[in-house]
Amino acid sequence: MTNNERIKFVIDDVAQTILDRGKERDLPDGERTIPRCVKAFNAVSGHKLSPEDGWLFMQILKMCRSKQGDFKYDDYAALRAEEALRNNEDDAGKWQLTVNAPCKHGFSNCVACDE
């Protein structure tokens, strides 16, 4: 498997895992688990974490786990999934995905031709 094939496999696998877990565990209105966990944690601890902070915590947990014991693909796949879910927690609208068609040079937001 080439590096590009491996990257595509991981991205596709992570995307499918997020969709599958959502079907299995999200509430009917689409709410994910982290907002409820963070709300409960805040109530017990007095902290004021956001759902984005909850996903960051989970990412750090996966990073630490990946350094213990043998390689486990799931640690890395879960880290990527939580990164995507963290990016999705965007109450303030600060993260937006903008997809631009490539310019004549093959780039989005090309500085050379301003397309």
Report if residue 12 sits inside a domain: yes
Separation of alpha carbons 30 and 50, rounded Å: 18
Report if residue 98 sits inside a domain: no
Sequence-ordered list of residues with C-beta below 8 angstroms from that of 4, at least 6 positions apart, any chain = none
Q: What is the pLDDT of residue 39?
A: 95
Report if residue 97 sits inside a domain: no
Report if residue 95 sits inside a domain: no
Q: Domain tally for the chain?
A: 1
Q: What is the pLDDT of residue 113?
A: 59
Separation of alpha carbons 80 and 11, rounded Å: 8
Report if residue 49 sits inside a domain: yes
pLDDT per position as a tens digit, 52-98: 899 899 989 888 988 898 888 888 888 888 888 887 776 545 545 45
Report if residue 24 sits inside a domain: yes
pLDDT per position as a tens digit, 30-56: 777 888 999 999 999 999 999 989 989
* Whole-prediction pTM: 0.66
Containing domain of residue 80, as a range?
3-88
Report if residue 108 sits inside a domain: no
Report if residue 25 sits inside a domain: yes
